[in-house]
Structure 1
């Protein structure tokens, strides 16, 4: 719909939705770009869109070329910074996938 406002990362954080950083696309020389996945919200936000002012937020990278190792880094990040187990991390990602049409 034309009059609908685009949901932002800030909106979802304000709602209190849980989120994780997940492994996104690989970029030669940079590694895997981190993406932000919210619980029960379809899709994801590329890192660098952590606020309504994308230029103010950094792009986050998993600076390696091995996807499995990048995924382990994502799980470790969730545990260390958000207190989420690997299973909780995966449930958030799966809830996002489950809401996509």
Structure 2
């Protein structure tokens, strides 16, 4: 669980110390520990979500529109957010993934 990693990192523990106490709850690697690289990737994604919350909100809105069969059109940079450089126009054949929506991984803390 990302919350457990963030809490323990705030307590001064390193990712290498936290990693053995984490268990993957579902999927192909169920019951195993996530790699240190996976934990760092999850922390980087979390930092990106914290830095650009408007982009995550827009991705969720776009996903909801796609679920309702409404394909959103291009947005102007002002609508996309202050950090946008280009406009965004999703392909009608693309489906957002958990990673593109900034969902991240889920872990259980056993420690």
| Structure with greater helix share of residues | 2
TM-score, length-scaled by structure 2: 0.29
Larger Rg: 2
| Structure with greater strand share of residues | 1
TM-score, length-scaled by structure 1: 0.32
